[in-house]
């Protein structure tokens, strides 16, 4: 959030339903009408114009890492693939999937914090109730 304007992050994140339609067409064989295709093209091109046309007053913001844009683009794409995958796995409860995803995100975040030498000092702020809630997040 420090590196990109909130408006850009919001626009790209809101592309998830558009990407779900696109992915469902290829994965699930959903049918698209002409109006759907035009809407998809307009939504994607509008978001692309916003991202490419963003400006910032901050001098350091002009030297953004390309990985920042990869992470920004990956967010709606991964959520869209998750939505389509959940539709294919109708018998699997969503709470179970969310529990596994939360554990995977936690492990991934801790590994990335270690790689990037980020401090782990926020863990010291947890009390017993917080640790219980975090560790049983998908069970309750």
Under the banding of pLDDT at 50, 70 and 90, the label for residue 2 is: low
Q: Are 12 and 47 in contact (CB under 8 A)?
A: yes
- Predicted structure pTM score: 0.58
Take residue 117 and report the two structure tokens written for it.
């030498």
| Distance of alpha carbon 44 from the chain centroid | 16
Query: CA triplet 62, 14, 118: central angle to 5 degrees?
Result: 50
Average pLDDT for 78-106: 79
- Quick one: DSSP state of residue 58? -
Phi and psi dihedrals of 68, rounded to 5?
Answer: -65, -40
pLDDT in tens, 33-91: 999 889 888 888 888 887 777 665 554 544 666 777 788 888 888 888 888 888 877 77
Q: Are 77 and 18 in contact (CB under 8 A)?
A: no
Q: Are 50 and 7 in contact (CB under 8 A)?
A: yes
């Amino acid at each position: 959030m420090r590196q990109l304007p909130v408006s850009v992050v919001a626009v790209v994140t809101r592309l998830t339903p558009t990407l779900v339609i696109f992915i469902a067409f290829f994965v699930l064989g959903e049918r698209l009408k002409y109006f759907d295709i035009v809407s998809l093209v307009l939504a994607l091109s509008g978001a692309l114009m916003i991202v490419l046309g963003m400006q910032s007053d901050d001098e350091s913001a002009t030297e953004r890492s390309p990985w920042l844009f990869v992470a920004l683009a990956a967010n709606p794409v991964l959520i869209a693939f998750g939505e389509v995958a959940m539709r294919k796995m109708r018998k699997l409860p969503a709470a179970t999937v969310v529990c596994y995803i939360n554990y995977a995100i936690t492990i991934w975040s801790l590994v990335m914090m270690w790689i990037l030498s980020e401090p782990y000092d926020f863990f010291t702020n947890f009390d017993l109730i917080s640790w219980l809630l975090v560790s049983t997040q998908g069970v309750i």
